[in-house]
Amino acid sequence: MKLILVSAILLFYHNHCVNSYAIIDVISDKMNQFSHSIKVAFKSFRVKMKDFFFPDMINKKETDLPLTNYRKSRTNKAFSDFVDEMAAESETESPEYLTLKSDPTALMSTPQLATLHGKRIESHIVLTKDGYFLTLHRLISPCRRDGDKSYCNNETVLLHHGLLGSSADWILLGSDDSLPYILSNLGYDVWMANARGNYYSRGHTSKQVDSTDFWKFSWHEMGYYDLPAVIEYMKTVKNTSSKINYIGYSMGASAFLVLLSSLPQYSSSFKLAIFLAPLAFLSNTEGPLRILRAMAFNPPMHLLKLLGNGEFIPKRKVPHWISNKYCQGPELFCCNPLFFFAGAIPSDTEYLDRSFLARLMYHVPAGGSTNTVLHYAQLIKTGKFHKFNYETEEYPLSQISVPIALISSTDDTLATVADVLRLYFSIQKPIDHYVIHDKNLNHTDFIWGHNAAELVFGKVVDFLTTGLYFNTTRINEV
């Protein structure tokens, strides 16, 4: 500005015939030029900054769009990449899938399967504070006999299934190798939870199961509402204040972490927790679930139509044109939503007999919400363990005071060893991080693998009996 005024004054003295109006015109013109140069500089800076933060934005016209519109266009592009913009082919069930349906055990419920296995079981209905009806299954434990004496150890164990699972998952291996039966035979009082949304927990005091409002939950609500209701009910039925041993597989671990980080008063209800392939930090997760991270916070409507705008894939089958693109393995498993998104296609299929396959395919997935899956996709994107749709609201894991043992596998691409190790260092009282090395144990094999009893369940029993006295300096490897 000073430079402009000085130039004008010099011009005036140099040419006396220039009147005051001419001086004003010169000054105004110079100021306009200066203002225009500033605008151009800031516009160029804005474009460069957007190019820096969003390097994949090729169309320069998009740089003038509001950020919300840009995110929407990015999300739509991610969806197009996900489905490869291919038209859906006609969907028909494979002959192999139809054949399995005829197996006598395929459509049996948890109580029916347990009865088939020679076990006695009870069903209990629990009501949560927000109106959901949940089903609890409880094994009636046969007390062990030592000569003429009969006794139980009076310990209680609560098992919580994984993503899209149910209580049936725990007993699909049969009467000899299933974890609940192993624990029951040792005298434990075994309870199996069913999270809201699965086959056994689809009731509500006012919401219809076919409404989108019923499905507005993720695993946050399972930890915040479901587990407190289950714990209070168990205490009432048992009429005791004795502490509970908790075993959480996959999502079952997520719910437990939500419970104790949000409602720390429940810490006194637990003696010990054991996590099998826990889902918390997911920075290193691989597989199709990782593809959804770009759409996790702002899913486009066409993605919700594909995944389900409420219930997750209600038809329980991944379309062929998606599974063929992202999945390598038998079609029977690639089209199953849980195996597909978990990236856990069985590698040792020779160990899977027809009856087991029938039970597996018709009990898995047992149902769940789309938000539950998107919540995990958000964790993959952010690298944090936070509330649904709120990246900045992380769960305070360091406040959890219950002793926790963790078991992971080097062959699990969903709950990776690195991410489980990060969880280990985030909690207050970790007992051990037990790593199973190179045994082809993927994410779903933790409860269904033909060698799960040997590799996993034996260690679970070890933690239950000696976990609170475990020397963490021991080598935690198989």
- Quote the tokens at residue 187: 């005298």
Length of the chain: 478
Residue type at position 356: F
- Segments of 152-243 assigned E as strands: 156-160, 189-192, 203-204
The neighbouring-strand residues paired with 189 are 156
The neighbouring-strand residues paired with 282 are none
pLDDT for residue 138: 97
> Given the structure tokens 């930090």, which residue do they identify?
281
User: 350-400: per-residue pLDDT in tens?
Assistant: 667 888 888 888 899 999 999 999 999 999 999 999 999 999 999 999 999
Query: Lowest-confidence range among 19-33, 134-148, 331-345?
Result: 19-33
pLDDT for residue 324: 81
Instruction: Report the CATH superfamily, name and number, of domain 96-467.
Output: Alpha/Beta hydrolase fold, catalytic domain (3.40.50.1820)
pLDDT for residue 45: 58
Yes or no: say if 381 and 409 are a contact pair by the CB < 8 Å rule.
Answer: no
Q: What is the mean pLDDT of residues 169-191?
A: 95
pLDDT confidence of 473, banded at 50, 70, 90?
Answer: very low
Query: SS3 helix, strand, coil % of the chain, rounded to 5?
Result: 45, 15, 40
User: 396-434: per-residue pLDDT in tens?
Assistant: 999 999 999 999 999 999 999 999 999 999 999 999 999
Query: Lowest-confidence range among 22-31, 196-205, 404-413?
Result: 22-31
Residue type at position 222: M
- pLDDT at residue 144 is higher than 70: no
DSSP state at residue 264: G
Half-sphere exposure of 96 (CA within 13 A, CB side): 8
Q: What is the mean pLDDT of residues 83-103?
A: 55
The model's pTM is: 0.81
Could you state, in order of their start, the residue ranges of all structural domains in the chain? 96-467
- Quote the tokens at residue 307: 């995944």
Query: Three-class SS of residue 131?
Result: coil
pLDDT confidence of 146, banded at 50, 70, 90?
Answer: low
pLDDT for residue 90: 42
pLDDT for residue 239: 87
Percent of the chain topping pLDDT 70: 74
DSSP state at residue 93: -
2 φ/ψ angles, rounded to the nearest 5 degrees: -60, -40
Q: Which of 478, 392, 475 is nearest to 440 (CA)?
A: 478
Q: What is the mean pLDDT of residues 150-170?
A: 90
Q: Which of 171, 166, 99, 193 is nearest to 365 (CA)?
A: 166
Q: Which of 341, 377, 443 is nearest to 218 (CA)?
A: 377
pLDDT confidence of 347, banded at 50, 70, 90?
Answer: low
pLDDT for residue 99: 67
Query: Catalytic residues, which ones?
Result: 250, 443
How many whole angstroms separate alpha carbon 344 and alpha carbon 280? 18
pLDDT for residue 332: 84
End-to-end CA distance of the chain: 76
pLDDT for residue 237: 94
How many whole angstroms separate alpha carbon 10 and alpha carbon 1? 15
pLDDT for residue 142: 73
Highest mean pLDDT among 60-74, 242-256, 289-303, 311-325: 242-256
How many whole angstroms separate alpha carbon 287 and alpha carbon 177? 29
